[in-house]
Structures are given as structure tokens and as C-alpha cells.
Amino acid sequence: MTNPDHAPAASATASGPARAALEAWVAQIASLACPDAVVWCDGSPEQTAHLTQLLVDEGKLIALDPERRPNSYLARSAPDDVARVEGRTFTCSRTPEDAGPTNLWRDPTAMRTELEGRFAGSMRGRTMYVVPFSMGPVGGPISQLGVEVTDSAYVVLSMAKTTRLGPEVLRAIGAGVPWVATVHSVGHPLRDADGTLRDDVTWPCNETKYIVQFPETREVWSYGSGYGGNALLAKKCFALRIASVMGRDEGWLAEHMLLIRLTSPEGRAFHIAAAFPSACGKTNLAMLQPALPGWSVETIGDDIAWLRPGADGRLYAINPEAGLFGVAPGTGPDTNPVAVETIAADTIFTNVALTHDGDVWWEGLTPEPPGHLVDWTGADWTPDSGTPAAHPNARFTVALDRCPSRAADADRPVPIDAVVFGGRRSTNVPLVAQAPSWAEGVFMGATVSSERTAAAEGTVGELRRDPFAMLPFCGYDMADHWAHWLEIGEQLGDGAPAVFQVNWFRKGEDGALLWPGFRENARVLEWIARRVEGSVRAVESPVGLLPDVGGLDVRGLDLPPGRLDALFAVDPESWLDECTLTEAFFAGFADRTPPVFTAILDDRRSALRAAVPDQRIVH
Ligand code: OXD
Ligand code: MN
């Protein structure tokens, strides 16, 4: 399987200029990074088994008990390589204006020189894997191709679960389909240029990290990290940062959104695309088992959606990924039984705890922790240790076809009925509100904010603006992204989806959550679906259309008196303060902020100031 001469395996060989260009590119990376061998990956069971065994033999994967967790493995990362590193994520567009104020811009030419220095010899002593993959089914109308070269077999195994990896991708590339070039090195060569040897470690990485996007040339270069979104370059780097730029240029959208099909008791299907900042329970919502009888949810995607206007004037979406890279802590039989079943086998776990009988555990998997564990760092752990047994950003990586709620036709584009924006807000934002117009929906998306979680570095709990939940993922100026959404809305006209905002996380004065969440979120989805079909009324408020009295089905919930009022309260004072913050936020984008946002903000302020006592204007 190893081709020391850097040539692809015979089975993958094809002639033609497109294939030659790919091979020339691979040879060029190899001559820079100097790997000992180059291996072309085809996702075959044999290759997967071989790489898995290699990692087990090297101590980089721990095989879990085959009875308790068949065909599953545990990886432990280095303690300083546990999350995406936004402070080292760069957008190298031609001008800083194209990257916009929310991205870290670097001059592309200077960055290329810097990266060349880093990658020179960075794979010495290692194997370089070439991973041709497709985002979306090969040849699908919204799909795109990519190639990742990486010196991490863990990355190859993860990509085999989360993308479509196979010989048909190489055939498509050979036939001339364009592809996105992505290059990854953990930055831990086993040999220096002078022959000095360096020991391998169970999680090789480098203390200096670069996650670099070149949007114009559609390239990603990542150095120094082996972790998740830093290293599985098809995901955040390509499917969001690069793809958002492709979408801007080609009239489509790449969004940080889950995708579900919600079916009503009458059998009507509603397709919903929902954007939430990292670690707001997207995977839970994507696998919801509705508490409302007769309603069902099918999972299409849990993290990323690519959306394109169709010939019939509707917005169609696919999940470009083929697997899940989900947050383990908090995932349990009560919060997400479907995920628990999904990861019962064939899963790679990273940074969870190990039980004495060869299974895995994390906070939230069972109400009581086991008496003894080996924690994510490899140290002995008991409930008295005072530290989490699993890292808060511990992950599971698994193919989506293991998910019991996966839609059988999840490969086909689906027409979107509703777009939902959510955040983690303990105050102000109501449980659900509908945007009265597309422009107001785009405004809702632009003003998403959330209290910080563990998915990226930073202080947990701090409020951060996360427009469209795309703050770390939009590959170009964020305000241009809003303008692009406005244009797509104009193009769709009456065919545009309805837009909503939700907030499962509002708290009462006692600091307790007001809404039970999880399966009960189906009640909110029901209201959204009923609004789409036009069968329930809504009332106006200064921040959007809210459910009319009795419109939200809360039967059987046993909410205390006043709870619904608290969930939907729109306090004019604090919303006026919020408007001031929003204005300051928009000012950061100067004249690129769409003018319609100023008009919406003005209207909102007037409505809040008027604080009309009787707001019940029925729609
Ligand atoms: C993720 C994230 O990993 O959003 O999905 O950070
Ligand atoms: Mn995400």
C-alpha cells in the first residue's frame, strides 16, 4: 500500500490532465514536507483496518472492549490540543477588507512564505496520506470535492467516517471536476534535516499552530494540531470557511446549520435548517425524539448545511458531511438517546474517560459516575478528584449511517420550509419568535449571540456575538454575508423559507432554566411548522411574531403559573439596551452593514419606546 515513489496506487491510476494536476500537487507537497512514504487512501475496509491496527500498535488508539463497544477506539489528545484555536485561524484573502473585521487576516504571500518554513520537512519520518473526499454524494447537484493530505492516520480514519472517501472521488477528479486542496501536518517530524531522531508520542502536535484559509485559491493549510476542526479540514475549514466564499461567488450558501425533517401527525413534512453557535445542543435537536405524540424527526445533518436556490424558486439544502463529530459530555439516554445508540459501535472517541472494563464514560452519560475511571489525560480518577473525567470538548466521531433517525433519503437535497437561529441567552431572547419578513430574519441571524462554551478557547459564560453562528466560520466579510443572504431572499421571493429565532436557555430570577428543553423543544418546532402551514396565529411584538395565547402546545408540561409570560416577556428597557449594543456591533462593519438593518433597528426602537400596553395585533 505504501508508494515510496509518491505515485498513487495502481487501482487509482488514471490518465488525463486533471489527474496529472492532482498528482503534481501531491508530489509538490511531498517534496516540501519530505514524508518517508505517500499513501493514497480509498476508504476501503482493508485500509481502515490496517490504519486502525497501526494506531493501536503505536499506542495512539486504545481498542475498547469489543463486547461493550464493538469496533470502537479511544484517543487521548495532548492537553494543549483540545479545541479549535480561533486565535491561530487566519483568512488570507487578497485584502483585509475581504476578510472583514471578524476574521484574522494575513497577507497571503507573507503567509505562504511562513507556512513553507513550517511545512519544510514537517513530515520527515512519517507517512503522508492522500485523502480524496466528496462533500455530499459524488456528483450530487450541491456536492463539492476535496483532497486532504495529512501525516495523521487518526485524521484519515476520522475523515473516512465524516466524508465520502472512495475511488469514485478520484474518478471524478480525473474527469475534471474541480476540487479544494487541503494540507495538514501535525508538525512533529520524527527526524530533523540533519538526521537527528525525535521520539513519536501518542498525540503528536506542535505548540505553534496555524489554521489557514486562502479563499481565492480555495486552499486550506493547517499545521500543528491534530484535533477536530483544526485537522479534519473538510469540516469547518472547507465546508464552511472556503465553501462560504464559493457560495458568495456562485449564488449559494454554506452555513453552520443542522438539517431535519419534521413530520406532523397529518403526514406533512417540514424541512428545517437551524443555526446555533457551537455547543448549544445542535446534535440533540438534530436527533430529537419529539415529546408530542404523532410528530417525528428525521436527521439529515447536525452541523453544516449547503443551501442553493432551486429551479422552482425554493431553497434546497444538503448536509455535505457523512458523519458526526459530536460533543460527548452531556450526551446521555435522557438528553439524546438516539446519539447514545448511534455511538454504541464503530466510533472513535477522543478525550473521554475509560472505564475499568474497557468502555467509555463522560459527564452526563449516567446520572452517577463510576467509582473509578481513567480520565481523559490518562490519570486515575474518582468522583472526588474534583476535575472532569472527560474533557468538556471530548468528542465522538461516527458515520451518520449508524444513526437510527437518519433520513433514508438524506443524500437528496430537501426544500427548506423554515430557517431557525438560536443562541444560548439567559435573558431577553424569547423562547421563539418569527421574523415578519426575510430582511428581519436576516437581521435576527446577524444579531445571534451566545454565552461562550468549551468548543473553542475563551472564557466560558462570557457573551459573544455570533452572527449566523458563523463568527469563526465565515470566510469573508460578515456584513457581506448578510448582504448575500438578503440577495438570496430577493431571488427566492415568495419561495423563501420562513425565519425564526429560538432560545432554549432563558433563565428566571432564581437562575434556573425556564424551559425544559430537549424532547420538549418539539413543542416549539410544532409552532414553527404550524406557522409555515399557516394554521396558527401569532401576535406582534417589537422583536418578532410570538405565539398567540394557547398557540404553543404546553399540555402535559405542568409549567408553573406565569412561566409562559416569563419565556416570552419583552422588557422594553433591556431590549433598548440590547439595541444600543446591536448598533455598536453593526458599527464595527462600517458601511458594509446592509442599510435595511438600520431601518429595522429604528423601527424596533420606536416599537419598544411606544411600549404599547395592548400588543395583541393578530396576524
Ligand atoms: C463544532 C463546533 O465542532 O461548532 O461543531 O465547534
Ligand atoms: Mn459546529
Residue 344's CATH number: 2.170.8.10
For residues 544 and 444, the answer to whether their CB atoms sit within 8 Å is yes
As for how many domains the chain has, the answer is 3
Q: What's the pLDDT tens digit per position in 56-79?
A: 999 999 999 999 999 999 999 999
Co-location of 162 and 223 in the same domain? yes
| Residue 345 forms part of a structural domain | yes
Residue 72 inside a domain? The answer is: no
Residue 311 identity? A
- Going from the Cα of 198 to the center of ligand 2, the distance in angstroms, rounded, reads 35
Residue 264: domain span:
254-321+408-610
Same structural domain, 210 and 281: no
pLDDT at residue 616 greater than cutoff 60 = no
Residue 491 within a domain: yes
Contact partners, residue 300, CB within 8 Å, separation at least 6: 258, 259, 260, 261, 271, 286, 317, 318, 319, 406, 407, 410, 414
Q: Could you please report the per-residue DSSP string of 335-374?
A: T-HHHHHHTTSS-EEES-EEETTS-EE-TTSSSS--S-EE
Domain end, chosen from 349, 374, 402, is at 402
Pocket of ligand 1 contains residue 229 by CB under 6 Å? yes
Query: Does 89 contact ligand 1 (Cβ within 6 A)?
Result: no
Protein residue closest via CA to atom 4 of ligand 1: 278
Q: Which of 251, 267, 286 is the last residue of a domain?
A: 251
**Residue-wise pLDDT tens digits, 517-528:** 999 999 999 999
Mean residue pLDDT of the chain comes to: 94
Is 524 inside any structural domain? yes
Q: How do beta strands 418-422 and 269-275 pair?
A: parallel
Helices 438-446 and 595-610 sit at what angle, rounded to 10 degrees? 90
Domain end among 230, 251, 272: 251
389 and 240 fall within a common domain: no
- Find the CATH number of the domain harbouring 165: 3.40.449.10
Task: Give the CATH number, domain containing residue 568.
Answer: 3.90.228.20
CA 456-112-468 angle, to 5 degrees, is 35
337 and 317 in a common domain: no
- Domain-embedded: residue 119: yes
Pocket-testing residue among 236, 282, 319, 321, ligand 1, by greatest number of atoms within 8 A of Cβ:
236
Check whether 104 has a pLDDT greater than 70: yes
The alpha helices in 178-326, defined as continuous H runs, are 228-231, 243-250, 282-286
Residues noted as catalytic: 280
333: closest CA among 305, 292, 362, 313?
362
Q: Are residue 413 and residue 532 in the same domain, yes or no?
A: yes
**Computed from CA positions of residues 102, 108, 110, 111, in that sequence, does the dihedral angle turn out positive or negative?**
positive
Nearest residue CA, atom 1 of ligand 1? Answer: 278
User: What number does the ligand 1 atom closest to the CA of 303 have?
Assistant: 5
d(CA 389, CA 383): 8
Q: What is the mean pLDDT of residues 77-95?
A: 97
In a domain, 66, yes or no: no
Instruction: Kindly state whether residues 90 and 120 are assigned to the same domain.
Output: yes
Each residue of 284-310: pLDDT tens digit?
999 999 999 999 999 999 999 999 999
Q: Which of 319, 321, 265 is nearest to 294 (CA)?
A: 265
What SS3 class is residue 581?
helix
Check whether 457 has a pLDDT greater than 80. no
For ligand 1, say whether the CB of 445 is within 6 Å of any of its atoms. no
Q: Is the pLDDT of residue 548 over 90?
A: yes
Query: Do 230 and 354 fall within a single domain?
Result: no
Say if ligand 1 is within 6 A of residue 277 CB. Answer: no
**In this predicted model, what pLDDT tens digit does every residue of 485-542 receive, in sequence order?**
999 999 999 999 999 999 999 999 999 999 999 999 999 999 999 999 999 999 999 9
Q: Give the Å distance between the CA of 476 and the centre of ligand 2.
A: 18
Q: Kindly report the CA angle at 445 between 440 and 447, in degrees rounded to 5?
A: 95
pLDDT at residue number 497: 98
Determine, yes or no, domain membership for 180.
yes
Clarify whether residues 312 and 428 are in a common domain: yes
Indicate whether 339 and 312 sit together in one domain.
no
3-state secondary structure of 494: helix
Q: How many CB atoms lie within 10 A of CB 508?
A: 14
Q: What percentage of the chain's residues is helix, strand, coil (to nearest 5)? A: 30, 25, 45
Average pLDDT over residues 541-570: 95
Q: Is 455 in the pocket of ligand 1 (CB under 6 A)?
A: yes
The reply to whether 437 and 504 lie within a common domain is: yes
The answer to whether residue 615 scores a pLDDT higher than 80 is no
Query: What does the alpha-carbon distance between residue 38 and residue 2 come to, in Å, rounded to a whole number?
Result: 6
Q: Are residues 458 and 573 in the same domain?
A: yes
- Residue 280 sits in the same domain as residue 354: no
What pLDDT, on the 0 to 100 scale, is given for residue 111?
A: 98
326 lines ligand 1 (CB under 6 A): no
Helices (H), 344-503: 438-446, 478-492
Which pLDDT belongs to residue 11?
42
The bound ligand whose nearest atom lies closest to the alpha carbon of 456 is 1
Reading across the β-sheet that carries 360-361, which strands appear in turn?
360-361, 353-355, 373-374, 380-381
- Residue 345 in this model has a pLDDT that exceeds 70: yes
Q: Which of 402, 453, 217, 408 is nearest to 298 (CA)?
A: 408
Q: Are 478 and 460 in contact (CB under 8 A)?
A: no
Which residues, other chains included, contact 555 with Cβ-Cβ below 8 Å and sequence gap of 6+?
A: none
In a domain, residue 155? The reply is yes
Measure 46 CA to ligand 2 centroid, in angstroms: 31
Q: Provide the H-helix boundaries in 120-227.
A: 153-162, 167-174
Q: What is the Å distance from ligand 1's center to 460 Cα?
A: 15
